[in-house]
Structure 1
Amino acid sequence: MSDPLIERPSRIVVDLDAIAGNLQAIRARVQRPVMAIVKANAYGHGLVPVARQLQAHGVERLGVAFVEEGIALRRAGITLPILVLGGIYAPQVGQYLRHDLEITVSSLDKLRQVEAAAEALGRRARIHLKIDTGMERIGVHSYSCGPFIEAALASPWCEIVGIYSHLACADDPAAGMTALQLERFAEACAHFPRLGAPMPLRHLANSGGVLHFPQTWLDLVRPGLILYGVSPDPAARMDPALRPALSLRSRVVYFKVVRAGRSVSYGATWTAPTDTRVITVPLGYGDGYPRALSNRGQVLVRGVRRPVVGRICMDQFMVDLGPDGTAYNEDEVVLIGRQGTQAITVEELAAQAGTIPYEILTGLNERIPRSYLGAG
């Protein structure tokens, strides 16, 4: 019996070799170790296949958001150091230790929680100290972090692997905030030599930092979106060596002629101005294709850009081919990616939907089957 997920006409195709090439391009640029960020299902590309590819190509470390992601990687055989970047939920601390995951410690109280769990299990915890230099999300403020660092250094149950912060505005090369955050972070790191302690790994640069601010590269960089070949912001200066790894494709499942004056989809928000040809594509906002692209988005059919018309439904949407356009049932429809000489990018969809590329990629959910090109 055939597998209906394999047979589904909609699919995501991920080029793992493109991700490996992007890793090498980032390394060549920064000449530093890389912590590849694979949170949120590797930005929609597939957590385990991407992590296996990165491990095979020698990436030094991985970063995830939640302990559950780290556990999934360990169960899949990933042996690299893995830092969980998110805030600690006390009942889960033991799971970090059992699965050899590095822990973000973001306050003195969190440090005590980690110490208690480590002592109970008889295992030293490997930790990274989180300093808040301007995000006001998690982390000890840079101006008051001295006692926090002293307590961490004195802990018999914690090994300080790293110290880090997160850049708020690095996607924009003109943002002045980055220099201020770098200054605050340097002040926090200065506590280590003052206390006669060795400096742990300092890491600050996200994708924007890698692209625009060499002074933030320090001992380690943490690329996320650019690892997948996508620009983090319209203002970003993207490295031409980076190429997109993901495409989203479907097939025509219905073709009809819509007469002039007839409306399409919920709310009748689009009405055919003349007799026209309309196809139905079996993918919708239930898969993560944004409803905000209704009457705005475009797809590629037979190498030609065609507009999405009417409201995008949960499981399908319609495309206008015009009075003379041609398509047949089972013809390929490209939502993200290249067809012929044309291409539709994640960045383009984000602009049309009034959002950011991160949300487009991470919104593509597990209802869409994924297939992989290249090693992994």
Structure 2
Amino acid sequence: MRALARVNLSAIERNVARLAREAPGCAVCAVVKAEGYGHGMVAAGRAALAGGATWLAVATAEEARELRAGVGDNVRILVLGAVSDAELVVALDADADVSVWSVERAQALADGGRGARVHVKLDSGLGRLGTRDTAEATAVVDAVAAAENLELVAAWTHFATADERGDQFFGEQLARFKAWAEPLRAAHPGLLLHAANSAALLRDPASHFDLVRPGVAIYGLDPFGDDPAQRDLEPALELVSYVAAVKPADVGESAGYGRRFVAQRPTTIATVPIGYGDGWRRALTNRGEALLHGTKVPLVGTVSMDNVTFDVGAVAGLEAHVGDAVVLVGAQGAEQITAEDVARSIDTINYEITTALTARVAREYHRDGQAPGS
């Protein structure tokens, strides 16, 4: 297979269980939007539930529809993002909870005549969805609570800088949310409060409230962009391919579009069939690396849509043969390349590395090397 993402469902389960221990007494809402950050939404959702999550969260109504079909009826699903009128129908048909932040939207939802479970969002500082006005947010809560066909479930917010340890704004957001939300809970017994993403969950217990929403960490990715092992997290995804061609390159010969690699010495070039059409970023041109026979080899030349090339001759004594396994994310022998390593090489975040993997990359699921269900 030209490019394969192997996903360890047992690692997702253990990561969720580990995060649940970090927030005792809190419900865990595992975020599985964007195809489970590239790992597969339904498979990741099922693994998260097996690990102790009781809620799942997505960004869109269509994701909620697909997830509901995959995980069954006895799971709470929350749509975090904005939904149009047409999308709202899809979300409610999927029996998903929805997010609201304006009185007008709450009233329209009530006037629609359908029952809905509602989470009211305060923009405490992220500056995207939600209202910044606490008085308006409270009015939305009151409107939802007063509507006979709506169920007021939760008040929530989202942090802008939880993954930037030591910054002051995280604390400001947390204080702003608490000052608004805690009196609401007194006025509406049973109201859930939730705010913590993966970074906040690991950073500050004061952010946990009643429910936590880990996303990136359930896949074994470090929310702080460092090393998952430092957080006792297990990367769940391994990205592999193979050597499709091997050829010598003499001095002055090049590899790839634009001749962005020209051999300065006699060397050997291995071509691997993965490229930006698979989500392997073009920004990795002359920057990336892969594991071949347990040794790191540099990516050279331009990443194209379907292929990349590696300078095998850069490593003394290393040989490549057609069919040899190549690991782009994961471990081989004693060496490892993490999504965080790849992200740092192109100044992005680990989220983007896995989420960028396209449908052309096959997903293969296992449980610690064994077929699921075996």
Q: Same fold (TM over 0.5)?
A: yes
Gaps of 5+ in 2: none
Matches within 5 A, 1:90-169: 90-117=85-112, 119=113, 123-144=114-135, 145-169=137-161
Matching residue within 247, 250, 255 for 1:256 = 247
**Residue of structure 1 equivalent to 2:264:** 273
Matching residue within 291, 299, 303 for 2:294 = 303
**Residue of structure 1 equivalent to 2:343:** 350
Contact 2:220–2:228 (8 Å) recurs in 1 = no
1:354 counterpart letter in structure 2: D
**Residue of structure 2 equivalent to 1:57:** 51
Matching residue within 321, 327, 332 for 1:328 = 321
Q: Deviations over 1:186-237 (max 9, x none)?
A: 122144256x322411000001101111110111100010111111234689
**Residue of structure 1 equivalent to 2:66:** 72
Report the secondary structure of 2:269's partner residue: strand
How many correspondences in the alignment?
Answer: 364
**Residue of structure 2 equivalent to 1:4:** none
Tell me, in whole angstroms, the C-alpha distance in 2 between the residues paired with 1:170 and 1:151.
31
Matched, 1:192 2:193: no
Matching residue within 321, 334, 338 for 2:331 = 338
Matched, 1:363 2:356: yes
Tell me, in whole angstroms, the C-alpha distance in 2 between the residues paired with 1:190 and 1:24.
27
**Residue of structure 2 equivalent to 1:244:** 235
Matched, 1:315 2:306: yes
TM-score of the pair, normalised by structure 2 = 0.93
**Residue of structure 2 equivalent to 1:5:** none
Report the secondary structure of 2:222's partner residue: coil
Residues 282 and 83 of structure 1: CA distance in aligned 2, closer, same or farther (over 3 Å): same
Residues 204 and 168 of structure 1: CA distance in aligned 2, closer, same or farther (over 3 Å): same
Deviates more, 1:259-268 or 1:340-349: 259-268
Contact 2:28–2:54 (8 Å) recurs in 1 = yes
Report the secondary structure of 1:202's partner residue: strand
Residues 142 and 217 of structure 1: CA distance in aligned 2, closer, same or farther (over 3 Å): farther
- Structure 1 runs of 4+ aligned residues shifted over 6 Å read 235-238
Contact 1:12–1:369 (8 Å) recurs in 2 = yes
1:347 counterpart letter in structure 2: E
**Residue of structure 2 equivalent to 1:173:** 165
Question: How far off its partner does 1:73 sit?
Answer: 1.2
Residues 25 and 203 of structure 1: CA distance in aligned 2, closer, same or farther (over 3 Å): same
Q: Deviations over 1:243-262 (max 9, x none)?
A: 10000000101000000111
Paired-residue identity, %? 36
TM-score of the pair, normalised by structure 1 = 0.93
Deviates more, 1:164-173 or 1:102-111: 102-111
Matching residue within 267, 283, 295 for 1:292 = 283
Tell me, in whole angstroms, the C-alpha distance in 1 between the residues paired with 2:126 and 2:339.
26
Matches within 5 A, 1:25-36: 25-31=18-24, 32-36=26-30
